[in-house]
DNA sequence: GTCCAATAGTGATCCAGGTCACACAACTAC
DNA sequence: GTAGTTGTGTGACCTGGATCACTATTGGAC
């Protein structure tokens, strides 16, 4: 499926745009390709864009003072990724984004999104619902952190996103679950 | 300050409504008062409303199978609370909301919010930004869970919301931080 | 006033998961 | 080919926080 079609189907889940409106909506996006390992947003950067994944897989992550990495999100096709704190508040990135595999995205600048939202009520409706769902998902993840042990969280992750198992190395899965790779490796020992 | 003024000042942070528009916006809200300990949303309920706090303090929380409670959020004046998963997806509540102190709120039904958003573009803009900020806050909390130990998280909480220290009992603070009350109590021991 | 429930502090013990160290594939790069 | 880099498993040991048990305090409700 073509990038435009993928975005169109995604937008249609939350908003009703006419074909003409969608053409306008789509005109603000820019298609970009990145290689495995390529860094899209690096800590300290100015952040202008958010990214809608067409194919491949991104990760957004934070690295603390001890160089330990924590993964906020894996972004598979039809997911969005950026440092939203930096993007919304026009500050330097504290979250980085890079490519786990070769990845195609549609990028949208902050200014373009706001212009779209201002000009097209239905676009604002779409972005409201996109974030609503992200907010609910973040709360669920927070609860699973407080409530569940590693094994439960790992099994839940694989249940929800089985495709990750084949694409994402175990050390990154561990960084997403917030445990050491050794602990993850030992889960199904003997 | 009157409830209407508090909401008006809050909305003005993210959206520009004329006085007339705000009157219309406000007409969808219903003022309600609750007593300390009173339950507003209980697990298993149908959820119709979200609540904007005027005075007092609410908590939203999840109770697991072992009857252990985890607090998702304290809601102080100008904060919003509900079971957003249930509210947005029209499912039964898994999150409960009750009153830590006597509390006044302005309640808004899901239908009324959607009607407001559909009829008034600027209302949709407001609710988009409100959730954007909630999403960013939820991600920050997730990172502090993965990255920081209890002591750091506790000190960060008190730094950001010092008023909680006097209003909220320690066992509830512990349930927010995701640790036992004993561990919280021992943080500043000898 | 007297009770009872809610809130807090603290000792003793246990365990999930962290840290360090080493082994060994598998995969580039040259 | 050979060498360096990634990803993965596993043993040994350590530690932060949980759990259980008991003791004060405080503050309504009556």
Confidence of residue B65 (pLDDT cuts 50, 70, 90): confident
pLDDT for A65: 86
| Window from A16-20, A38-42, B13-17, B65-69 with minimum mean pLDDT | B65-69
Q: Which residues form the domain of A77? A: 3-122
Number of structural domains (chain A) is 1
- How big is the CA angle at B161 (ends B156 and B167), to the nearest 5 degrees? 120
Q: Which DSSP state fits B64?
A: -
Residue A138 domain-assigned? no
Contacting residues 31-90/B vs strand D (CB within 7 A) = 68
Contacts for B190 with CB less than 8 Å, ≥ 6 apart: none
* Per-residue pLDDT at B1: 67
Global confidence as pTM: 0.94
CA distance A90 to A30: 21
The DSSP output letter for B77 is: T
**Nucleotide in closest CA–C1' contact with B152:** D16
Residue B11 counted as domain residue: yes
pLDDT digits 0-9 by tens, A71-102: 999 999 999 999 999 999 999 999 999 999 99
The reply to whether B57 falls in a domain is yes
Q: What mean pLDDT is reported for chain A?
A: 95
Strand C contact at CB of residue A182, distance < 7 A: yes
- Pair A47, A113: CB distance under 8 Å: no
Sheet holding A103-109, edge to edge: A30-34, A103-109, A49-55, A80-81
**Least Cα separation, residue A128 to chain B (angstroms):** 4
Whether residue B153 lies inside any domain: the answer is no
Q: Is residue A93 domain-resident? A: yes
Residues 6+ apart with CB under 8 A from A135: B84, B131, B134, B135, B138
Looking up residue B58, the CATH number of its domain turns out to be 2.60.120.10
Q: 């909220």: which residue's tokens?
A: B168
Is residue A172 assigned to a domain? no
A17 found inside a domain: yes
As ranges, strand C nucleotides with an atom below 7 A of a protein CB are: 6-12, 16-21
Q: With bands split at pLDDT 50, 70 and 90, how would you rate the model's confidence at B149?
A: confident
Whether A174 is in a domain gets the answer no
Is A190's pLDDT higher than 80? Answer: no
């Amino acid at each position: 499926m073509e990038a435009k079609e993928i975005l169109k189907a995604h937008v249609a889940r939350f908003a009703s745009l006419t074909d003409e409106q969608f053409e306008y909506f789509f005109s603000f996006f820019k298609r970009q390709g990145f290689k495995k390992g390529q860094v899209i947003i690096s800590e300290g950067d100015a952040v202008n864009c958010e990214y809608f994944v067409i194919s491949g897989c991104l990760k957004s992550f934070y690295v603390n003072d001890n160089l330990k990495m924590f993964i906020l999100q894996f972004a598979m096709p039809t997911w969005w990724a950026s440092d939203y704190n930096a993007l919304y508040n026009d500050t330097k990135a504290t979250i980085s984004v890079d490519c786990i595999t070769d990845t195609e995205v549609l990028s949208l600048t902050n200014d373009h999104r706001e212009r779209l939202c201002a000009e097209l009520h239905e676009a604002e409706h779409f972005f409201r619902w996109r974030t609503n769902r992200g907010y609910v998902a973040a709360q669920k993840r927070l609860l699973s952190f407080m409530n569940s042990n590693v094994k439960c969280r790992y099994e839940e992750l694989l249940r929800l996103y089985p495709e990750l198992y084949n694409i994402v190395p175990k050390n990154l899965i561990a960084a997403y679950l917030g445990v050491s790779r050794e602990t993850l490796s030992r889960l199904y020992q003997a």
